[in-house]
Amino acid sequence: MSEEILVNVAPPETRVAVLENGVAQEIIIERTQHRGLVGNIYKGKVCRVLPGMQASFIDIGLDRAAFLHATDITDGNTTENDQTGSISELVREGGEIVVQVVKDPLGSKGARLITNLSIPSRHLVFMPSLSSISISQKIEDEDERERLRALIEEITDDTTLPGSFIIRTAAEGANAEALKADVRFLTRLWLDIQERIKSTPPGMLIHEDLPLFLRAVRDLVNPEVDKLRIDSRTSWQKLRAFAEKLIPDSQVQIEYYPGERPIFDLYGVEDEIQKALERKVQLKSGGHLILDQTEAMTTVDVNTGAFVGNRNQEETIFKTNMEAAQAICRQLRLRNLGGIIIIDFIDMIDEEHKRQVLRALEKALSRDHAKTHITEVSTLGLVEMTRKRTRESLEHVLCETCHCCGGRGSLKTAESVCFEIFREILREARQFDVESLLVLASQEVVDRLMDEESSTLAELEGFIRKTIRLQSEDLYSQEQYDVVLI
């Protein structure tokens, strides 16, 4: 499978698209005014300790205080899996603490923090609080794991640097020189961060992660990536210089795209972004998915739609579910959906079919950079899974809550609004002694009051013995209205 990475750089935002066999699989957007915070290191000030939640709120200079749980507080002699004591024993109000952001602010929630700092490079992650070398589980070959471990142990034998390294998936096949270069880079960076920790006041940034177009090389380039194309000459020059230091032996081609046609248009990525904002996703067979993202979870409903199959119903359902499993994994990456995800596959009777659909889902998710966990198919045909969420979804980045419906996704009918107006008129007429009333409403509601509800309106006028006048307002939504006393 061939991969390409497209980078679209503009003053207000940078966008990165990962393509597999020419099809967009992942979209990452970073806006200049709202840059992601994940990976940033701050010197924070404890502004509130909550023993009941085993957590504390930390002021790191953002609009909202960030969140630090007791289990995310470690020191040089512990690991993140160790049991910790009470939050009151670990931090105190007004105290200073060095923290790193692991999750951007999402919705009304502040950023999520840890004290177990990590500094990534191309092949390695340096962990000051780590005591032993760890290796990515995605490197499955035991001989390769032992080779990498031996190389890092040999390289770090002569260093007095506290902490240790995690060997990333990208290190598979890397030679000793590449690993040495990473160790030197991380050593220099950590010493610089230590100096900044001493001099930086509380509530200030100590270390900022790389901009998106540089992170694309560090985090997304792998042996399967053939080409990286970028449409900004200035950024291209910086990217090449960065890549020569970070991945000098890589075969990936870093190209500048000078064309007049926008690079995302050329590869159809703009269309994919628009489709990723819709609820309905069409499958090639004629079936479709319905994706609903809520505060608590994301639900995915699989439907056969226009697909009727050729043999029998069970075979039709199985083929639809197999196709849906591939499409769902792509949509999760494309839309960057995280948290709890419930997939409602079409009910299957054959246990072997259920097993094959689940294996297809797991195989497709194995290419996902985000950590995922899947359960078995339940008796209701549901698959529960989680996907690690570190940044806002594509919908939350590009869209805002509808001002008309308030995010419900539906509006009261004109008929319902008319009946509300009638009740409001009765309420006002009984409470106040006026000569007439003026109803301000949207054009759709006024049209209904003058047409289908005209007889009811006339009866109401006779009942309250007051004149009711109507006036349409172009700026009113269908649910908005006012009853004015005259």
User: Which tens digit of pLDDT belongs to each residue from 63-96?
Assistant: 889 999 999 987 544 444 444 568 888 999 999 9
Quote the strand ranges of 294-408, DSSP E: 297-303, 339-344, 372-374, 382-387
- Number of independent structural domains in the chain: 4
pTM, 2 dp: 0.80
pLDDT in the model for residue 264: 96
Does a structural domain hold residue 93? Answer: yes
Where residue 213 falls (left for φ over 0; alpha for ψ -120 to 50; beta otherwise) is: alpha
pLDDT in the model for residue 471: 96
List the CATH number of the domain containing 454: 3.40.1260.20
Per-residue confidence band for 277, with pLDDT thresholds at 50, 70 and 90:
very high
Statement: residue 43 has pLDDT above 70: yes
Q: Which residues of 130-161 are buried (b: 16+ CB within 10 A; e: fewer)?
A: beebebbeebeeeebbeebbebbeebbeeeee
Same-domain pairing of 254 and 283: no
Statement: residue 379 has pLDDT above 90: no
10 in Cβ contact with 16 (< 8 Å): no
Question: Distance between CA atoms of 452 and 399, rounded to whole angstroms?
Answer: 37
Give the residue-averaged pLDDT of 302-315: 76
Question: Distance between CA atoms of 237 and 230, rounded to whole angstroms?
Answer: 10
Does a structural domain hold residue 406? Answer: no
Q: Residue 369's closest CA among 4, 28, 23?
A: 28
| Neighbour-count burial of 311, counting CB atoms closer than 10 A to its CB (0-12 exposed, 13-18 middle, 19+ buried) | exposed
Does a structural domain hold residue 407? Answer: no
Does a structural domain hold residue 405? Answer: no
Does a structural domain hold residue 409? Answer: no
CA angle (200, 202, 205) in 5-degree steps? 60
Last residue of a domain, one of 207, 232, 260: 207
Does a structural domain hold residue 291? Answer: yes
Q: What is the dihedral of CA 192, 66, 368, 295, to 10 degrees?
A: -170
Q: Are strands 280-282 and 288-293 parallel, antiparallel or unpaired?
A: antiparallel
Q: Which residue has the tokens 């994994």?
A: 329
Last residue of a domain, one of 353, 368, 398: 398
Summary mean pLDDT of the chain: 89
List the CATH number of the domain containing 52: 2.40.50.140
Alpha helices for 342-393 (secondary structure H): 351-365
pLDDT in the model for residue 96: 93
pLDDT in the model for residue 82: 47
Dump pLDDT digits (tens) for 21-30.
999 999 999 9
pLDDT in the model for residue 76: 46
Token output for 236: 């291209």
Same-domain pairing of 372 and 473: no
Same-domain pairing of 185 and 94: yes
Give the residue-averaged pLDDT of 114-129: 90
Same-domain pairing of 165 and 64: yes
pLDDT in the model for residue 304: 83
Alpha helices for 166-281 (secondary structure H): 176-199, 212-215, 233-246, 263-266, 269-275
Domain range enclosing 188? 41-207
Question: Distance between CA atoms of 462 and 480, rounded to whole angstroms?
Answer: 25
Give the residue-averaged pLDDT of 179-183: 87
Token output for 201: 């006041």
Residue 220 is given by DSSP the state I
List the CATH number of the domain containing 239: 3.30.420.60
Same-domain pairing of 60 and 161: yes
449 in Cβ contact with 461 (< 8 Å): no
Angle subtended by helix axes 443-450 and 454-464, to nearest 10: 80
Same-domain pairing of 201 and 53: yes
pLDDT in the model for residue 242: 87
Same-domain pairing of 78 and 62: yes
Give the residue-averaged pLDDT of 169-179: 86
Same-domain pairing of 369 and 436: no
Same-domain pairing of 330 and 234: no
Percent of the chain at pLDDT > 70 equals 95
| Three-state DSSP class for residue 472 | strand
Give the residue-averaged pLDDT of 307-334: 86
Where residue 107 falls (left for φ over 0; alpha for ψ -120 to 50; beta otherwise) is: left
Same-domain pairing of 231 and 117: no
Angle subtended by helix axes 351-365 and 313-335, to nearest 10: 20
Same-domain pairing of 175 and 252: no
Statement: residue 354 has pLDDT above 80: yes
Give the residue-averaged pLDDT of 89-112: 89
Per-residue confidence band for 316, with pLDDT thresholds at 50, 70 and 90:
confident
Q: Residue 222's closest CA among 353, 93, 123?
A: 123
Question: Distance between CA atoms of 398 and 326, rounded to whole angstroms?
Answer: 25
pLDDT in the model for residue 174: 84
Does a structural domain hold residue 137? Answer: yes
Same-domain pairing of 249 and 171: no
pLDDT in the model for residue 169: 86
Give the residue-averaged pLDDT of 349-372: 91
pLDDT in the model for residue 28: 94
Statement: residue 208 has pLDDT above 70: yes
Does a structural domain hold residue 51? Answer: yes
pLDDT in the model for residue 310: 62
pLDDT in the model for residue 81: 44
388 in Cβ contact with 372 (< 8 Å): yes
Statement: residue 232 has pLDDT above 60: yes
Dump pLDDT digits (tens) for 148-172.
999 998 888 877 677 889 999 888 8
Give the residue-averaged pLDDT of 466-473: 95
What is the number of residues in the chain?
486
DSSP states along 100-154: EEEE--BTTB--EEESS--EE-SSEEEETT--S-EE-TT---HHHHHHHHHHHHH
